[in-house]
Amino acid sequence: MAQREKLLEIKNLKQYFNEGKVNEVKAVDNVSFEIFKGEVMGLVGESGCGKSTTGRTIIRLYDATGGEVLYDGVNVHGKKSKKQLKDFNRKMQMIFQDPYASLNPRLKIADVIAEGIDIHGLAKTKQERMEQVYELLETVGLNREHANRYPHEFSGGQRQRIGIARALAVQPEFIIADEPISALDVSIQAQVVNLMK
Ligand SMILES: Nc1ncnc2c1ncn2[C@@H]1O[C@H](COP(=O)(O)OP(=O)(O)OP(=O)(O)O)[C@@H](O)[C@H]1O
Ligand SMILES: [Mg+2]
């Protein structure tokens, strides 16, 4: 059997909110796990046990209170140069639980999806940028006519597809999906699961 390559290693991760105060919450307390390349891992637990906080802390939406996050053997928390952070932000993407709250309502879908393409300079021309947007829309089962619409003009399932297209736009190596189907109709859940596979 081929050697399994380690992609992500979480060591003793801690995320305490309001540390040291009376309202301190130990949302993540000493969590360790590993994820190997090509692997899908599920994190399961009761409401409020810290699943979302674990994901958010891994992608650095929060600074970890303690512990280490090693990506390809490199600690991605702590002091990093702008370039290191940018590289890391491209490799790791997150799809959020709530498709209503996670899309900027003032941006057209083309610009929502292309934001990462722009930040990371992944398209050389405007035309190339739009071609990538169209291809991503089609990948997630939408179509190019949707590019000029705003988030409120879509259903919940369609918005979640847009969230997935946005995550895929920067060709990430690793995706954290935080209950990406729990806000969706049962009839649409299967479609989105198939899409992610
Ligand atoms: N920004 C924050 N400030 C203070 N406490 C927070 C913050 N975010 C989350 N918490 C608390 O941390 C704990 C873990 O929350 P988290 O959202 O990670 O849970 P979860 O496992 O994702 O739950 P669910 O299944 O309901 O999504 C909860 O007690 C929550 O109230
Ligand atoms: Mg959650």
Domains present along the chain, CATH in parentheses: 1-79 (3.40.50.300), 80-197 (3.40.50.300)
Q: pLDDT digits over 56-103, tens only?
A: 999 998 889 999 999 999 898 877 888 888 888 899 999 987 777 889
Using pLDDT thresholds of 50, 70 and 90, give the confidence band for residue 111. Answer: very high
Q: Is the CB of 47 under 6 A from ligand 1?
A: yes
Q: Are 169 and 118 in contact (CB under 8 A)?
A: no
Tokens of 46: 């009761």
Tokens of 181: 């189907």
Using pLDDT thresholds of 50, 70 and 90, give the confidence band for residue 144. Answer: very high
Compute the mean pLDDT over every residue in the chain, rounded to the nearest whole number: 91
pLDDT over 90 at 188, yes or no: no
> For atom 30 of ligand 1, which residue has the closest CA?
48
pLDDT over 90 at 53, yes or no: yes
SS (H, E, C) the chain: CCCCCEEEEEEEEEEEECCCCCCCEEEEEEEEEEEECCCCCCCCCCCCCCHHHHHHHHCCCCCCCEEEEEECCEECCCCCCHHHHHHHHHHEEEECCCCCCCCCCCCCHHHHHHHHHHHCCCCCCHHHHHHHHHHHHHHCCCCHHHHHCCHHHCCHHHHHHHHHHHHHCCCCCEEEECCCCCCCCHHHHHHHHHHHC
Instruction: Select from 49, 59, 181 the residue to mutate for testing ligand 1; criterion: most ligand atoms less than 8 Å from CB.
Output: 49
Report the separation in Å between the CA atom of 133 and the middle of ligand 1, taken as the mean of its atom positions: 33
> For atom 11 of ligand 1, which residue has the closest CA?
27
Least confident of 28-37, 94-103, 127-136: 94-103
Q: For the packed helices 186-196 and 156-168, what is the interaxial angle rounded to 10 degrees?
A: 10
Q: Is the CB of 25 under 6 A from ligand 1?
A: yes
- Percent of the chain surpassing pLDDT 90: 66
